[in-house]
Amino acid sequence: MSFHGALIGIVIGSYLFAAKKKVPLLFLLDIIACVSPIGIFFGRIANFINGELVGKITNVYWGVIFPQVDSFSRHPSQLYEAFLEGVTLFIIMNLIILKGNYKIGTCSSMFLIIYGFFRIFSEIFREPDVQIGYVFNALSMGTILSALMVFSGIIIYLKIKNDN
DSSP assignment of 77-97, as one string?
Answer: HHHHHIIIIIIIHHHHHHHHH
Max CA separation in the chain (angstroms): 57
Total tally of structural domains belonging to the chain: 1
Percent of the chain whose predicted confidence (pLDDT) is above 90: 82
Q: The domain containing residue 49 runs over which residues?
A: 2-162
Tens of pLDDT along 15-27?
A: 999 999 999 999 9
- For the chain, the distance separating the N- and C-terminal CA atoms, rounded to the nearest angstrom, is 36
Banded pLDDT at 91 (limits 50, 70, 90): very high
- The CA distance from 34 to 95, in Å, is 9
Query: Which ranges constitute the DSSP H helices of the chain?
Result: 2-21, 25-50, 77-81, 89-98, 106-123, 141-162
- Specify the pLDDT at position 1: 54
Number of other residues whose CB lies within 10 A of the CB of residue 88: 15
